[in-house]
Copies of this chain bind each other. A is one copy, B any other.
Amino acid sequence: MIQVREARADDWPAMWRLMQPVVAAAETFSWDPDLPEEQARERWFHEPPGRTFVAIDDDGEIVGTAESEPNHEGPGAHVATAGFMVDSHRQGRGAGRALCEHVLERARADGFRAIQFNAVAESNARAVALWKSLGFRVLTTVPEAFCHPTEGYVGLHIMYRRL
């Protein structure tokens, strides 16, 4: 059973252990694959109303993490965005789903009206299927906007769910 809670500063080393390989692989995230750890930490932990979560398995291990924040500011601050990373060795065990359900619940409680994902690689079939099963739909696919290391140029889905 996966538990999700707010991330604490002292969770970071375990979070980065699972995040760094995801970033370096550059198969799912549009981040610099060599992003320094300190910049990753600043990017993943937000000022309120942004939030950061960790998913914990039965052994008490951090197996995934998520962040959410307003997608824009001011007149656009009522739509949230979010990002998710799961330990590549622990995929398919429900961490991504548990994290996303938690993000949806908290975003709704925080008063956001919708969630928008800005860049879901269409080659990331597992994630696309998961988000769809959680009520997200593809608003559009930006053509060839993601250069996958083995599949070449693929589209980036912009996905959306009203809260």
Contact = CB atoms under 8 A, between A and B. Distances in A.
Interface string A103-115: 0000000000110
12 contacts: A29-B75, A33-B75, A71-B145, A72-B119, A75-B146, A76-B156, A114-B144, A114-B145, A116-B145, A139-B140, A142-B160, A143-B160
Contacts of A77: 30
B119 A76 contact: yes
A118 interface: yes
Contact of A75 (B72, B79, B148, B158): B148
A123 to B, nearest CB: 10
- The range of chain A's interface size is 35 or more
A128 interface: no
A145 B79 contact: yes
A74 B26 contact: yes
B30 A73 contact: yes
A32 B77 CA distance: 9
A42 B33 CA distance: 24
